[in-house]
Structure 1
């Protein structure tokens, strides 16, 4: 109501509303601390003598982007990826540290968690799921059930990472099933990996409580999983590039977009320098015919809805954390300013 004055006001914004699928002109946004306090036509009641006011000059303003599935530890330290990702408008990373845990176990997980703290980007972690892939042929380390339960008590640890040996689910491997059960009991997210699974096996996998996958490489695989209630992270990164084989058919078949996201799965330094990060996914999808506002929604709101974090992140609205981007061109998104809280 203006009783407490804003620290920052952005005026003359062309607001990209991921809630109503519209561009709202001449919007003003008030920010107090790390939260948005007001979004509307007139924020004058929130402006005090110490309030900084930035005239955006009718540039586009959107929520920060998220990468919902990335293996940071395959290539770089979190601090190094943060430097590049922020320039691409990515304000949140959802990390699955398979490599560091395979080599260093629970101690490695704890250290990697620390490396993601106190950075100018939000890094959320999951406990790697399904390590080792096959105990007969792998000496990779993993977390015990007790360590998993301890790990998810940390506010930035959201659940279980991709359970990439899906046969452990269909064959009901005891350790895997206990991990999944524990995560469900604690209302945690469980990420999936369903490459090669179909029909009965895919149904069994989904029925265990695993509701996402980043492995579809074509539209038919996307549709099979959407029909079973899964969320799909369309991969475009250094491991594979699947956008061109999925987006055109998504558009021609006019399916719902609310369970679709973009993810990198992992980016090496050369690729992020040459192409970008999630901003590249938006630009490429727009070239393939996706409406810019839909691409931005997939890059922001959909990710946080999947992770059950929509109360705090994913859009620009009162009460939300102030992760905000400013850019000139809706069809060629390249952030000129990035705010993280």
Structure 2
């Protein structure tokens, strides 16, 4: 971040410079402390700069309205919803969810890397934040049959995508406890 940009954001947060936009007089829900209090929210360069009393170039009066953070669903199987990512986003947005972290385990069990690529591609460029964890066990255990098998080397290219955050839940505990090499590579 350039020094001038940082200085501008600090000046807005300190109240020395008007914010780009201020949401004024809202009932702010503090999800950490469980409180609700009246205040203004300053926004600069698309970021929240502060909560308190602010002036802005543009102001939105939120008197009588509640302002709260959006929700993040930390573990979702998009394919279990039986709809494409774009349709799921429409429904979730109506309920205040703006981000999910998906585990494409089911589609990977059916169609392997192609299914995972489909989910990642179909969720790009939407007004919703889709993030992914890579399925750790395809198939879930060696006793199961599936449409695909994913080895540790199959997952490596996905980690280049900034929306892939890591490895999803490990269901194959025998592979972990028996220290199977491929499972250790996935975890490592």
Q: Judging by fraction of residues, say which structure has more strand.
A: 2
Q: Please give the per-residue CA displacement for 1:293-340, whole angstroms capped at 9, x wherever unaligned.
A: xxxxxxxxxxxxxxxxxxxxxxxxxxxxxxxxxxxxxxxxxxxxxxxx
Contact 2:137 2:150 in 1 (8 A): no
The equivalent residue for 2:54 is 43
- Is 1:92 aligned to 2:92, yes or no? no
Match of 2:118 among 107, 111, 115: 111
Q: Following the alignment from structure 1 to structure 2, what is the Cα–Cα distance between the partners of residues 151 and 69?
A: 18
The equivalent residue for 1:317 is none
- Is 1:58 aligned to 2:64, yes or no? yes
Contact 2:99 2:130 in 1 (8 A): yes
Contact 1:126 1:158 in 2 (8 A): yes
Within 5 A, what are the aligned runs for 1:186-335? none
Instruction: Give the 3-state SS of the residue equivalent to 2:111 in structure 1.
Output: helix
TM-score under structure 2 length normalisation:
0.83
- Deviation at residue 89 of structure 1 after TM alignment: 0.4
Instruction: Give the 3-state SS of the residue equivalent to 1:172 in structure 2.
Output: coil
Instruction: Give the 3-state SS of the residue equivalent to 1:163 in structure 2.
Output: coil
Q: Please give the per-residue CA displacement for 1:129-174, whole angstroms capped at 9, x wherever unaligned.
A: 1111233441331433223222122111111112122232223232
Match of 1:129 among 109, 112, 136: 136
The equivalent residue for 1:172 is 179
Q: Please give the per-residue CA displacement for 1:211-265, whole angstroms capped at 9, x wherever unaligned.
A: xxxxxxxxxxxxxxxxxxxxxxxxxxxxxxxxxxxxxxxxxxxxxxxxxxxxxxx
Q: Following the alignment from structure 2 to structure 1, what is the Cα–Cα distance between the partners of residues 99 and 33?
A: 22
Contact 1:124 1:158 in 2 (8 A): yes
Instruction: Give the 3-state SS of the residue equivalent to 2:127 in structure 1.
Output: coil
Contact 2:18 2:54 in 1 (8 A): no
- Deviation at residue 4 of structure 1 after TM alignment: 6.4
Contact 2:98 2:128 in 1 (8 A): yes
Q: Following the alignment from structure 2 to structure 1, what is the Cα–Cα distance between the partners of residues 84 and 169?
A: 20
Classify 1:21/1:139 alpha carbon distance in 2 versus 1 (closer, same or farther; 3 Å).
Answer: closer
Query: Which of structures 1 and 2 has the bigger CA Rg?
Result: 2
Contact 1:31 1:37 in 2 (8 A): yes
What is the RMSD of the two structures over their aligned residues, measured on CA atoms? 2.0
**Structure 2: gaps (5+ residues):** 1-10
Classify 1:116/1:4 alpha carbon distance in 2 versus 1 (closer, same or farther; 3 Å).
Answer: farther
Contact 1:106 1:142 in 2 (8 A): no
TM-score under structure 1 length normalisation:
0.48
Q: Following the alignment from structure 1 to structure 2, what is the Cα–Cα distance between the partners of residues 16 and 132?
A: 43
Within 5 A, what are the aligned runs for 1:142-157? 142-157=149-164
Contact 1:71 1:96 in 2 (8 A): yes
The equivalent residue for 1:28 is 40
